[in-house]
Amino acid sequence: MTKLSVNINKIATLRNSRGGNVPNLLKVASDIEGFGAQGITIHPRPDERHIRYQDARDLKEVVTTEFNIEGNPIRSFMDLVLATKPTQVTLVPDAIDAITSNAGWDTITHQSFLKEVIQEFQNNGIRTSIFLDTNTQFIEAAAKIGTDRIELYTEEFASEYAKGNTAIVKSYTEAAILANEFGLGINAGHDLSLENILFFKQNIPNLAEVSIGHALISESLYLGLENVVNMYLHKLQG
């Protein structure tokens, strides 16, 4: 079964919009785990506009499933991850002022840098994943770098699938097959939703984990958080 890791950035955004501690991020994380999710994901940014660095430290004491921290490996982010020691760190090349992640790594250009960063995390017992497009050359370079997993950036899939272009999944299937051949674990995330997750899961061999936040929280406004988590879990068993 593919694991579901719920990104709770949007919960932090709602909390920060009013000040105080409503909704309580730690309680929401615990509740999501209680509803059956197998992981919690956060993506702190330097301006702390949603997840704060202290949230990462506090969540480490609360999360009992897999804890995944995403972000650009600037020094402050690396220090945070090394201090909290999550289950997994996902390296994302997002600009400081980016609204959301919008590209995977060029693992050829940044090979030396990424290799050094990954080795530091792995030496501290933290599983590593690299955010990637479906470019086969970048996947091959990722394997040479020594990462444990890749996370397929699925925005293009989600956008084209919504238009009825189901053939878009072919490049993701081929990328997953290649990654498997190199011994890389496969995660996926960005704009996956209840509408497209089953089709994606059925076409990606050995999909280990999906990280879903924006769609899941938005769907929960209508359907309820516990119900939506279980809807995803049901689809990921398909």
From 33, 50, 66, 70, the catalytic residue: 70
From 33, 43, 50, 209, the catalytic residue: 43
Q: How far apart are the C-alpha atoms of 71 and 197, rounded to whole Å?
A: 23
Catalytic (active site) residue 43 = yes
Strand partners, 149: 129, 185
Let me know if 233 is exposed, middle or buried by CB neighbors in 10 A (0-12, 13-18, 19+).
Answer: middle
Q: How far apart are the C-alpha atoms of 194 and 29, rounded to whole Å?
A: 20
Q: Which amino acid is at 83?
A: A
Q: How far apart are the C-alpha atoms of 205 and 217, rounded to whole Å?
A: 26
E strands within 133-214?
149-153, 185-189, 207-212
Catalytic (active site) residue 214 = no
From 33, 66, 151, 190, the catalytic residue: 190
Alpha carbon distances (Å) from 232 to 15, 166, 173, 213:
24, 20, 20, 12
Phi-psi region of 144 (alpha: psi -120 to 50; beta: other; left: phi over 0): alpha
Catalytic (active site) residue 160 = no
Alpha carbon distances (Å) from 52 to 42, 56, 201, 225:
10, 7, 31, 22
Q: Are 208 and 149 in contact (CB under 8 A)?
A: yes
Residues annotated as catalytic (active site), given as ranges: 43, 70, 190
